[in-house]
Amino acid sequence: MSIAQDEIFGPVLSILPYRDEEDAIRIANDTVYGLSSYVTSGNLERARQVARRIRANMVHLNGSRGDIAAPFGGYKQSGNGREWGPFGFGEFLETKAMFGYLA
């Protein structure tokens, strides 16, 4: 279903039926994108377990807001690299690898 698989920028809410938790996770991950997702549950620990299995950079639990100290960026075709917080500094660094330095 296109609305569940496209990266739509705008105020859109799609509600899709699912058989069980496994099916919900399959639907959530069945996209080439992975910028942000939301998990709502009466049991916070269960929401955390589901969030760990979703292939998106940002997972909001029970309507939580974003945080500029957290890394912002996507998975899959939503883009590589991160902005915000300490992870964003890596984009501006030149890392060097030295081999044979210790004799």
What structural domains and CATH numbers belong to the chain?
2-92 (3.40.309.10)
Residue 68 clears pLDDT 90, i.e. is over it = no
Q: Are 91 and 81 in contact (CB under 8 A)?
A: yes
| Residues 58, 9, 5, 73, CA torsion sign | negative
Q: How confident is the model at residue 88 (pLDDT cuts 50, 70, 90)?
A: confident
Q: How confident is the model at residue 103 (pLDDT cuts 50, 70, 90)?
A: low
pTM score, whole prediction: 0.72
